[in-house]
Amino acid sequence: MFHEPASQGGKDPAAPYKTRLGLWMFLVYALIYVGFVAINITAPVLMEAEIIFGLNLAVTYGFFLIVFALVLALVYTRLCSSKEAELNETDKGKDA
Amino acid sequence: MAILIFLAFVGFVLGLSFYYGSKTKSASGYYAAGGQIHWGVNGIAFAGDYLSAASFLGICGMIAVAGYDGFLYSIGYLAGWIVALFVVAEPMKRLGKYTFTDAVDSKFNSRGIKLMAAISTLIVSLCYLIPQMVGAGVLVEPLLGMPHAAGVIMVGTVVIIIVATAGMTSTTYVQFLKGGLLIVFSLVITIAVLVRGFSTKPDQGGKVPFHEYATLAADVKDGKLAPSDAAWSVVESKAIKNHTFVKLAKDGKESWWMEEEKDGKKVFEEIQWESLKAGEAKVVNGESGGKLRQVGNLVSIAGDSAPEAKTGSVGPFEFLAKIGDKKTTVLQWKLEKFKDASGADVTVHYPYTTAGSKLMRPGVKFKVEGTILERIDFVSLMLALFLGTASLPHILIRYYTVPSPAAARKSTIVAIAAIGFFYILTLYMGLGAMTHGVVNPLDNNMSAPLLARSFGTVLFAVISAIAFATVLGTVAGLIVASSGAVAHDLMDRYMKIKMDENQKVKAGRIAAVVVGILAIILGIIFKGQNVSFLVGLAFAVAASANLPAVVMLLFWKRTTAKGIAASIAVGVVSSLVLIAMSPSIFKQFGLDPANAPIPFDNPGIVSIPLSFLTLVIVSLMTERKLAEGVTE
């Protein structure tokens, strides 16, 4: 019991798809995050510029990074779930 | 009343732990809750784990004194979940192991990896435990009137009891409960701040009258500045940096003032001060055993300043826009320490104004407009925050508490939503504290609970109890991860000590007690340091030690066991050495930060690439040896 996995995951035909998707989404987010850091060290005063609802670029960009993380996460799980359902159906079809 | 609510809440949390603890029989139950926790519960528990003392106390505290720079931690911590979800979560879950060590060792069964990974888990957990314990000490001071060390010992003892008797199942439900409550009550504080709005003379809802700091007119007499009023006399003066602090006397009573220039005329401005002579009670603002006044207020609200400007209730965007307005100015406080002519240790706390527009962008704490090294320090911090989340052992272990990779994914999304929402609230709570006159000039960590106190004792007691439970929960999770590293990875797997199921759980509990005691000692040593800053360092150690091993194991087929073991070793050692030689640690231990051999505080930018590089080089070297027939 001590050395066994916490729970056994079954065969996951969607694994390569999910890994690829995850890496791409990570890359997209990382680029936007790098953009935030880059503006801060190269043109910090730009962060004072008003963007929307009286909020400056720093606050707007910061909020965007938080909200965008959630949006990407939702898209990711939606795509992963569809792919899992699709490939599991195919697997069942093959078994039949 | 406050203490009763506090104790009732903490008692409830402990009762819950014991209830679930009595159900825990097997090792899988102790370490990973049997892999059967619902993903929704697990997601909020993730949030509960993650929203530690650092998030609530440290970030709000840092925002209260450094504005947007504190919010950078919120952004970085949340962004780190992207790495956890997109890169690490599912592959780790597919490996199906209990601990970080088991996961990175799953392909190799190498004793070297077992040893290094277990040590890394221990060290990272200890680094992360320090800020939690500091937070515990900070919390009990105003609430229970206990000294810092008593709070640290209390938390340590309670958590050791929880973990040594219960295990992970209890902490999952406790984390769920307090994670949820923390977010709900943070929202309550935020709404209360918005409803109260801004005033240039905040009085904590009428509870604490706004203190008007006095100004004395001054003239030059005999070549020296002295009060115009002859009732006052100059005792001594002390010039530090660009300021001159002057001890004045009137009717035999002495007090410290600061030379200033107002409307082209020299004046003395009242400041706050503490004076401690050997063998005597501390004198604060002229009172023996007195307390410093809480500080922080707007001087001008978007250009409106006199005599008392008020806004009434404001909307969430208006709140941020008002502070960030180019015509808004905020009164903040700094301190200087020196010895006076009588040999007393004096600390003066003096005000200065900062433009709201500057506080609402990076640059106050992190010198993004400074030297190249100062900018590198900022980049290094943001890198460690981004990569640290996915490397924390007590977060990794939670991936094993749900039944499937899909459930792990859903848990993470619930966690991102909850944590992201909470982090947005930290900006309101921190700025609320900064502008509502509730910041403790000695320790900004208590800003959010003190802000809650300005809205009533009940809210203060509830939020303090939640923060205390936050500390309990996070510390419990960390100690479980550490005890797993010792009992499971080191004793059972590395040393191959023969133990039956009961002995293994017992070994885990003994390890929990030892780690808990170590955490108590470190929590006392690091008193006064901002807890979020300390967590930033723990993230850097975690990212340097664990991330290269996890990522390369998952995505680079040529990774070898020796490569992983070497990268973990280099990551741990390099990050710890860089931290130990950094300016902040020099300052913490009373040394001159200017003499620190490493010119920046955050080690990630050096130690993370170094750890990756080590893994690649050692893997390539050992891979060749393997190909040549040398067994590993």
Q: Distances from the Cα of B470 to the Cαs of A23, B98, B136, B162, B164, in angstroms?
A: 33, 24, 9, 14, 18
The whole-number pLDDT of residue B514 equals 87
Q: Which of B563, B554, B539 is nearest to B617 (CA)?
A: B563
Minimum-distance CB partner of A9 among B375, B405, B413: B405
Indicate if the pLDDT at residue B522 is higher than 80. yes
Residues in contact with B141: Cβ distance below 8 Å, sequence separation at least 6, in sequence order: B147, B148, B151, B446
Question: Which residues in chain A touch residue B27, judged by CB atoms under 8 angstroms apart?
Answer: 1-2
The whole-number pLDDT of residue A7 equals 43
Q: In degrees to the nearest 10, what's the CA dihedral of B498, B501, B507, B509?
A: 170
Mean of pLDDT values over B150-170 = 72
Widest CA span in chain B: 93
Minimum-distance CB partner of B85 among A1, A66, A73: A73
Q: Which of B216, B143, B248, B102 is nearest to B549 (CA)?
A: B102
The whole-number pLDDT of residue B23 equals 59
B511-533 b/e with 16+ CB inside 10 Å = b? bbbebbebbbebbbebbebbbbb
Indicate if the pLDDT at residue B630 is higher than 60. no
Question: Which residues in chain B touch residue A5, judged by CB atoms under 8 angstroms apart?
Answer: 35, 95-98, 400
Q: Are strands B243-250 and B253-262 parallel, antiparallel or unpaired?
A: antiparallel
Confidence tier at A2 by pLDDT (50, 70, 90): very low
* Cβ <8 Å between B424 and A63: yes
The nearest CA of chain A is from the CA of B491 a distance in Å of 13
Minimum-distance CB partner of B318 among A5, A54, A76: A54
Which of A5-14, B139-148, B416-425, B459-468 shows the lowest mean pLDDT across its residues? A5-14
* Tokens coding B66: 């450094």
Residues in contact with A34: Cβ distance below 8 Å, sequence separation at least 6, in sequence order: none
The amino acid that residue B623 corresponds to is E
Which of B55-69, B75-89, B241-255, B397-411 shows the lowest mean pLDDT across its residues? B397-411
Annotated domain spans of chain B: 2-21+28-197+390-527
Instruction: Choose, out of B42, B78, B82, the residue to mutate when testing the contact with A (most A CBs < 10 Å).
Output: B82
Q: How far apart are CA B63 and CA B74, in angstroms?
A: 10
The whole-number pLDDT of residue B626 equals 61
Q: What is the pLDDT of residues B127-146, one digit of tens each?
A: 888 888 888 887 777 777 77
Q: How far is CA B67 from the centre of its chain?
A: 15
Determine whether B244 is exposed, middle or buried from the number of CB atoms within 10 Å of its CB (0-12, 13-18, 19+).
Answer: middle
Q: How far apart are CA B446 and CA B58, in angstroms?
A: 8
* Cβ <8 Å between A9 and B96: yes
Cα end-to-end distance, chain B, whole Å:
64
Q: In degrees rounded to 5, what are phi and psi of residue B355?
A: -70, 135
| CA atoms within 13 A of residue A88's CA, in its CB half-sphere | 9
The nearest CA of chain B is from the CA of A30 a distance in Å of 9
The whole-number pLDDT of residue B65 equals 93
* Cβ <8 Å between A25 and B86: yes
Question: Which residues in chain B touch residue A70, judged by CB atoms under 8 angstroms apart?
Answer: 413, 416-417, 420
Q: How far is CA A77 from the centre of its chain?
A: 9
The nearest CA of chain B is from the CA of A46 a distance in Å of 9
The answer to whether the pTM exceeds 0.90 is no
The amino acid that residue A74 corresponds to is L
Minimum-distance CB partner of B85 among A1, A44, A76: A76
Question: Which residues in chain B touch residue A81, judged by CB atoms under 8 angstroms apart?
Answer: 406
Question: Which residues in chain A touch residue B396, judged by CB atoms under 8 angstroms apart?
Answer: none
Question: Which residues in chain B touch residue A59, judged by CB atoms under 8 angstroms apart?
Answer: 68, 320, 324, 360, 427
* Cβ <8 Å between B420 and A1: no
Instruction: Choose, out of A21, A48, A84, A87, the residue to mutate when testing the contact with B (most B CBs < 10 Å).
Output: A48
Q: How far apart are CA B252 and CA A59, in angstroms?
A: 51
Residue-wise DSSP of B38-72: -HHHHHHHHHHHHS-HIIIIIIHHHHHHHTHHHHH
The nearest CA of chain A is from the CA of B525 a distance in Å of 33
Q: What is the pLDDT of residues B271-283, one digit of tens each?
A: 999 999 888 888 9
Mean of pLDDT values over B523-534 = 79
Confidence tier at A8 by pLDDT (50, 70, 90): very low
Positive or negative: CA dihedral B9, B14, B18, B20 = positive
Question: Which residues in chain B touch residue A77, judged by CB atoms under 8 angstroms apart?
Answer: 409-410, 413
**Quick count: other Cβ atoms within 10 Å of Cβ B207?**
11
CB B78 within 8 A of CB B84: no
The CATH class, in words, for B2-21+28-197+390-527 is mainly alpha
Minimum-distance CB partner of A62 among B71, B90, B504: B71
Question: Which residues in chain A touch residue B324, judged by CB atoms under 8 angstroms apart?
Answer: 48, 54-56, 59
Q: Mean of the per-residue pLDDT values for chain B?
A: 83
* Cβ <8 Å between B420 and A2: no
Q: How far apart are CA B223 and CA B237, in angstroms?
A: 14
